[in-house]
Structure 1
Amino acid sequence: METDSSQEQDAGSSSQASGTDLSEVTRGAWMGSSVSQYEIDWLYRSRRIPEGVSCRIPGDEIEPVLQPGERVVFLAHFERGFGLPVSSFFRDFLDFYKLQPHHLPGNAIFYLSCYVTFMEAYIGIRPTRETFARFFALRINSVQGLDIPKPKPPVQCGSCIIGSRQASPFFKFSGLESCRSWQGTFFYVKNTGAADLIDLPPFDPAPPTKTNWSYNPKESHNETNRIIRFMKQRMKDTDLCSDDIIRTFISRRVLPLKRRAHKMSEMYGPGDPTKITGLPLSKKDVVLKARQICQTSMPEDWEWGLRPFSSTNPPTQEAKDRFPRIESDKRGRCRKRGLDKFDPDPVIFWKDLKMGRTPAARLGKAPPEPSDVPSANLNPQVHEHVAPLQAEAGKEFVDKLMAQGQKNKTPASDAGSSQAPPAKRFRTEPVAGKVVAMRRRKGKQMPTATGPALKLGPRPEGSAGSARTSTPPPHSSPAPSGAGNISASPLGGTTSSGRAAPTPPDPRAEEDLASPPETQDTGASNMGAGKEPAGRAEPCSSRP
């Protein structure tokens, strides 16, 4: 493969040679982190982070300061189809292009999720770098300014921009213009056992080297040629569009970039363990979630242009004849998961749905200071902070929070699971030649609540004229399970190790307003090379 790293290395040193001071440049720079414990709880509860991975919230550091074995991840990525452990395609993508998660802005994660969804749900095969490189191109995101000499150095965060290749036949997607402060959502993850449940490369703060960025197989990859012909025929014969791809992975409640037991084309209903949850979303909620991560004109009463593949809507014999890997990639069903009693990843209504990070941080109320919260131990230890889903907020709490939201602006719409107040947001600005974090609290600690668990009351209705919305459970459970403690990190911040709460099976039949019952369940698909292995195996999930 082709490598053209010399130009980027020269760009990284050009500012030093010219004597230009880039310390006051704030665009794309590290800005500290405002991630709260409530948001970490949401990631565990919604199964974006598995048991066996601990999380540590950054302290006062502006740039990441890691402890041994830690990796840096971003909350904004988890909102757009990212999950741990990452899929074999995503890890191969990082390795092939020599990239780090902090090189990819939030919108790039969304584009990758759409690509994987199309390959798995509408072709029926796993994705490959060859087909990706035929559809997409990578370009550098450089520091801007008339006083910056050429070649301009890349920004610290989001230096790799993914866009459609010229004359690409693939569907066009538009990310959010407001997704600009995503780098302020970083935190640390670490494996707690021998198994690697993260599968990310070690953190390297250096800019990308543009390795293989010019790679394009063009017409030399036969399988990609067949995919393009098949796709164009489907677009001609049906109403397949980009919105179908977006609503596929949203309504299927699946994370395209997370390691899964099987392809989206093999998904088989609410008990499928590859889903965040088996609970369905209404069509309106699918639209709300879509608007939180991209620009779309999807109507609230949308209909499928082309229904994606599933176990009850399998690929046609014509598709199997064209793509033998549909059968060779097939894994089959695995152990079912019981249906949740409460949705761990619901929608919160928010008037302005264009956001760059989790809207849970816009609920208008900060969490109590550590000094105001009783501690179970003066020397707290590791905290298992993911409580059972039965321990939810009651109606009084929800009504009170909704009233506060009307006073301090309407609560934010979120893919998260809580209306519990998040940590304060931090403002950054250049001072004395460097970026400093403002209003940062020292010694963050997760509040530990006491008392009996509350039960979830009836869902409150919005005010007149507003759309009906679902109300999520809080990020931070009022009755945490396990030790109920956290440990202070030597480098600052707090450390948590989560455990997904067991949920009893629900005898209710599947009822999906967005995607019909199991006999008409919808899914998404991956694509891959014909002569190349599909990548690392993604073992069948063993979680209940």
Structure 2
Amino acid sequence: MEADTGRGQEANSSSQASGVDLSGVTRGAWKGSDVTQHEIDWLYRSRRIPEGVSCRLPRDEIEPVLEPGEFVVFLAHFERGFGLPASDFFRRFMDFYQLQPHHLPGNAIFYLSCYATFMEAYMALRPIRETFARFFSLRINSVQGKEIPKPKPPVQCGSCIIGSRQGSPFFKFSGLESCRAWQETFFYVKNTGAADLINLPAFNLGVPTKANWSYNPKKTHIETNRIVRFMKQLMKDTDICSDDIIRTFISRRVLPLKRRAHKMSEMYGPGDPTKITGLPLSKEDVVLKARQICQTAMPMDWEWGLLPLSSTNPPTDEAKQRFRRIAAEQRGPCRNRALDTEDPDPYIHWTDLKMGRTHTPRPDAPSAGTNPHVLNHETPLQAEVGHEFLEKLASQGKKNKASASDAGPSEAPPAKRPRQEVVGGKVVSKKNYRRREMPVSSG
């Protein structure tokens, strides 16, 4: 499909109708892209993007400028459980709420991944929007400023924030407070054949229309009511916790928001083709990967509170009788895939790599070069390790520090604070000091 730029909708947005100039607003705004060829190669190696999809890196454009047939995706989303082709649940979610990928900040993708993982790995059910709407709500992320009249217009990127619904019985998760500049990880994808290996809505640059955002089935959806009762019984009878859900899709090496041959409850071993790779991760690596995408106090020597379902740990007969959809969605085992000799998606300490804008280290292997699906236009990656560390220093000793927005960076980084020392009884600034290394992000 030829992409719709959506410029007409943007021109008629509430920001321009109010006559307020938002050209100086940086929070949640398009700022170009810093994705590199090495990162595109990693997406292919880790099977986040199939070979039937071509990728194109942005050049100097600030906001996306698409060619016919292209879609916009974000590297920060791929790091949090998204993959191509997108899962049927993710596509239905986007269509129902009339959303675009750029409307969802990085943490929203993480919450969707956690929900899909619980439904597949602990309920043995495909995720559906009715149950999602019972657990989560959507709210708009608006441009802030006293000089901007109400109603304040939505930000350009990250305008849809997903949060736990008030009184929700679902598990609580915390995304990264420092998930900033995720919108600077966009690039273009396009199908190279007749098959749709992307499964995303046609691109539209405009802001969301808030279609169906107030939808909440409450207690009118029968299956969701059964899921809530079943989940509460699990919490009462077992030690299941939110960390179980996070480490399920990390340790299983699976992408919850990617279309797969079967559910996580039917996964069967290292040769399962729905995995990124059949090579296992150590417990320590699972924790380190979890800390890259969320806030968690998961210990290095963690144990399962409740083991997720699989072909060797199937759902109980009671669950199958209560949820008829389990049997209806069941599929036979797929043909095994050959095992990798080298892990395509290992945990690598951030000091060995360039640091991404989203606090996530990404493998930085040599470019494929001859890969016909990737164009070799390359944009330098601008690491911001120093800025993040200085923000941490600036926040020390301050009470009631406002948390970072889920949608994007603040308007300006905090000013540098020079160190001081006493020389000859006088306090002087010491400008040339050795910068400390930033530790790996933790919960």
Q: Which residue does 1:423 correspond to in 2? A: 380
Instruction: Note if contact 2:181-2:357 (Cα within 8 Å) is conserved in structure 1.
Output: no
Change in CA separation of 1:223 and 1:367 when aligned onto 2, cut-off 3 Å: closer
Q: CA contact under 8 A between 1:15 and 1:149: conserved in structure 2?
A: no
- 2:39 pairs with 1:39: yes
**Aligned-pair CA distance for 1:180:** 1.6
Whether the aligned pair in 1 keeps the contact of 2:51 and 2:373 (CA below 8 Å) is no
Distance 1:266 1:155, change over 3 A: same
Structure 1: gaps of 5 or more residues: 1-8, 369-375, 387-420, 428-465, 468-544
Aligned to 1:164: 164
Could you tell me how far apart the structure 2 residues matched to 1:283 and 1:355 are? 26
What is the distance in 2 between the residues matched to 1:90 and 1:244? 22
CA deviation after TM superposition for structure 1 residue 17, in Å: 3.6
Q: Does 1:18 align with 2:18?
A: yes
Find the aligned partners of 1:325 and 1:87 in 2 and give their Cα distance: 18
Residue identity in the other structure for 1:114: C
Relative to structure 1, is the Cα distance of residues 312 and 218 closer, same or farther in structure 2, using a 3 angstrom cutoff? same
Q: Pick from 367, 372, 376: which aligns with 1:383? A: 372
2:362 corresponds, among 353, 360, 366, to: 360
Could you tell me which residue of structure 2 aligns to residue 505 of structure 1? none
The corresponding residue for 2:232 is 232
1:72-471 → structure 2 map (5 Å cutoff): 72-350=72-350, 356=358, 358-360=360-362, 383=372, 423-425=380-382
Offset from partner CA, 1:117-144 (integer Å, 9 cap, x none) = 0000000010110000000000000001
- Aligned equivalents of 1:308, 1:354: Cα separation in 2: 31
Take 1:12 and 1:279, find their aligned partners in 2: how far apart are those partners? Answer: 51
Q: What is the DSSP-based 3-state SS (H/G/I as helix, E as strand, rest coil) of the residue aligned with 2:16? A: helix
Deviation readout 1:209-244 (Å, 9 max, x if unpaired): 000000000000010000000000000111100000
CA RMSD, Structure 1 to Structure 2 (Å): 2.7
Aligned length: 374
CA contact (8 A) 2:254 2:274 kept: yes
Worse overlay, 245-254 or 325-334: 325-334
Query: Residue 229 of structure 1: SS of its match in structure 2?
Result: helix
- Secondary structure of residue in 1 paired with 2:193: coil
2:55/2:373 contact within 8 Å kept: no
Q: Tell me the SS of whatever aligns to 1:220.
A: coil
Alignment check: 8 A CA contact 2:137 2:164 kept: yes
Measured after TM superposition, the shift of residue 332 of structure 1 is 1.8
Q: Give the secondary structure class of the aligned counterpart of 1:359.
A: coil
**Aligned partners of 1:47, 1:359: CA distance in 2, in Å?**
17
Answer yes or no: is the 8 Å Cα contact 1:178–1:354 preserved in 2: no
Give SS of 2:270's match: coil
SS at match of 1:131: helix
TM-score (norm 2): 0.80
| CA distance 1:426–1:339, change in 2 (3 Å) | closer
Q: SS state of the match for residue 163, structure 2? A: strand
Quote how far apart the aligned CAs of 1:358 are. Answer: 4.0
Q: Distance in 1 between matches of 2:112 and 2:92?
A: 13
Q: 1:144–1:289: structure 2 CA closer, same or farther, 3 Å change rule?
A: same
- Residue aligning to 1:48: 48
C-alpha distance after superposition, 1:395-427 (max 9, x if no partner): xxxxxxxxxxxxxxxxxxxxxxxxxx9933189
**CA, structure 1 residues 354+302, in 2 after alignment: closer, same or farther (shift >3 Å)?**
farther
Q: Deviations over 1:246-304 (max 9, x none)?
A: 00000000000000000000000000000000000000000000000000000000000
The gaps in structure 2 that reach 5 residues or longer are 1-8, 385-438
**Structure 2 letter corresponding to 1:383:** P
3-state SS, counterpart of residue 307 of structure 2: coil
Identical columns (%) = 77
Give the 3 Å change call, closer, same or farther, for CA 143–11 of structure 1 in structure 2: farther
- Secondary structure at 1:123 match in 2: coil
SS of the aligned residue for 1:26 comes to coil
Shift of 1:18: 3.4
